[in-house]
Amino acid sequence: MSRRPFISLVFVAALTAQTTRSVWDGVFTADQAKRGQEVYAKECASCHGSDLTGGESAPPLAGPGFLSNWTSLTVGDLFERTRVSMPGNDPGKLPRAQVADLIAYLLSANRFPEGKVELDKQTEALKQIRIDAEAPKK
């Protein structure tokens, strides 16, 4: 019995998850950012500075120095980095809701527009939101 060559076609889906929104789409509310500002003052300002410009051993959390390092990543990346490794003296102590408020404050401080729906506290949802330093061209 002759063997026929077995030809298979394999379709490979793109492995890279696609983001569906960006920080320019109004992904947090003003009230949420205000709550986050209170969290920031209590938990973060002593190292990162009251004006988010960073300190001797802590990077800035606003302005070009912050955006250069985070542009093209996602809000989910920023959320997880913060949730897992901050605050430096007691990493992981902040509940997800407070971390989401905090991220909303950081986005607000970096002059991204507020919206009508609060930032989610689930990482997977936040990974759909891309951080772009520059506003999309109209």
Partner 1 sequence: MTVQGLSLIKPPYATISAINLDRGDIVWQVAHGETPDQIRNNPALKGLNIPRTGQSGYNIGTLVTKSLVIAGDSLITTTPSGARGAMLRAYDKSSGKEVGTVLMPAPQSGSPMTYMWNGKQYIVVAISGGAYSGEYRAYRLPDER
d(CA 87, CA 16): 30
Separation CA 92–CA 46 (nearest Å):
17
Q: Which is nearer to partner 1, 45 or 58 (CB)?
A: 58
Is 65 a binding residue for partner 1 by CB under 8 A? The answer is: yes
- CB neighbour class for 75 (10 Å; exposed up to 12, middle 13-18, buried from 19): buried
Q: How far is the CB of 36 from partner 1 (least distance, A)?
A: 19
Nearer to partner 1 by Cβ, of 116 and 137: the residue is 137
Give the nearest distance from C-beta 12 to partner 1 in angstroms: 21
- Please state, in angstroms and rounded to a whole number, the distance separating the CA atoms of residues 18 and 49: 34
Cα torsion at 25, 31, 36, 41 (round to 10°)?
130
* Binds partner 1 by CB under 8 A, chosen from 21, 64, 96, 117: 64
Name which position in 77, 118, 127, 128 contacts partner 1 (CB under 8 A). Answer: 77
50 belongs to the binding site for partner 1 (CB under 8 A): no
Contacting positions for partner 1 (CB under 8 A): 54-56, 58-60, 64-65, 67-73, 77-78, 80-81, 85, 133-134
